[in-house]
Chain A
């Protein structure tokens, strides 16, 4: 029996497509509704905020979508990420179960977030976006997008929840190192931020307020777009590189998972790992 700990996939074997689970869902999803009209949202509603390529991916029914070559070249800086067999943890727990984990902390920003940040920056660059705005809570997403925007020469303003901005100065400095501008939210730069500060000058912010500020700036400026780090279909799809690699690495281990586990906030790291495995189940 082999005592392999790490399963490394060669760069040349890195999957060239993302997996779009919409093509295989046993029951299709309901369309998203416009918060004002409560009618289904169309591409025109999203166009001020996102490049058309990403809007297309959001509603695509294509099973596989090619990862553009420039994105794959950047992925190679840390991908394929290793699959580990947690032999020491298994021994500690004294369990007959086999535990594997896909480790996304090897990326430049230390999380899975660059998998979509690089893709979103690429499509924005293709469509002439000069500047991107976004929000960040703890800073993982802001850091990842800062890295990606610098590689494609796009300016980035990050609205960071004020309480985190003050408590986590190092993440803010990483964003600055990558060349992004990080603003404590609520700020005096937007109407939504000003309105909140007028009511409560000591407001420590929330993710919702930071999103409002970032969306407002993108909606007001034609050369500025907005980027989201989770929740949307296209963001989850960009993360499927994780599961596509894991399937090949589980083959290298001559094993297959009975149980998949992921944490979910917006849902992207879980979907990135799990969706390609759902493909085999549906």
Chain B
């Protein structure tokens, strides 16, 4: 299981469902055997993608789902750059009707962008039990 340990406190991003720092053992395993590629996004670029999605497709994505929208849009823009007509499928896992405060913060420019902090990660990892 990919984890930051029980003592790690995740930053207060709006995607409550992604503020979990213990990845499913199965997904961690699929990453270990190179079956999938992992990407990290900051929340501003995700809300930007979510707003673009709402203004074209009409559905306001949940903050969590805006990450998938961002990933799909980036893949589509990569296709445009390379002139490739690939087929992209993503999971729009939920709507954001109960999360409009997060969109409000985005529009007001008060959305914080958390930077990856190696120090706090190293500190959290120190508390992990040692296994063979």
Contacts and interface: CB of A to CB of B under 8 A. Distances in A.
Contact of B19 (A30, A95, A265): A265
Contacts of A113: 94
Interface in A15-70: 21, 25-27, 29-30, 32-33, 35, 38
B94 A105 contact: yes
A98 B75 CA distance: 10
Contacts of A12: none
A84 B86 contact: no
Interface in A172-206: 206
A268 B64 CA distance: 12
Interface string B72-116: 110111011001111111111111011101000000000000000
B121 interface: no
B42 interface: no
A104 B94 contact: yes
Interface residues of A, number: 80
Contact of B79 (A97, A141, A260, A266): A97
Contacts of A29: 25-26, 29
B22 interface: yes
Given A89-B52, A269-B91, A278-B30, A97 B16 contact: no
A171 B79 contact: no
Nearest to A103: B92
A249 to B, nearest CB: 10
Interface in A98-126: 98-105, 110-113
A263 B129 contact: no
Q: In the complex, which of the residues A104, A105, A137, A170 has the most CB atoms of chain B within 10 Å of its own CB atom?
A: A105
Interface residues of B, number: 59
Contacts, number: 221
A92 B52 contact: yes
Given A26-B33, A92-B52, A101-B72, A266 B23 contact: yes
Contacts of B85: 96-98
Given A167-B101, A259-B75, A263-B68, A207 B19 contact: yes
Contact of A264 (B27, B79, B89, B129): B27
B125 to A, nearest CB: 16
A271 interface: yes
Interface stretch (A71-79, A145-153, A213-221, A228-236): A228-236
Contacts of B84: 96-97
Given A105-B92, A206-B9, A278-B30, A255 B98 contact: no
14 contacts: A93-B77, A94-B80, A95-B77, A96-B79, A101-B92, A113-B94, A170-B98, A232-B24, A258-B87, A260-B88, A261-B91, A263-B67, A272-B91, A274-B36
Given A105-B92, A260-B88, 13 more contacts: A32-B25, A89-B57, A96-B84, A96-B85, A97-B86, A104-B93, A110-B98, A138-B98, A208-B6, A263-B18, A263-B93, A266-B24, A274-B36
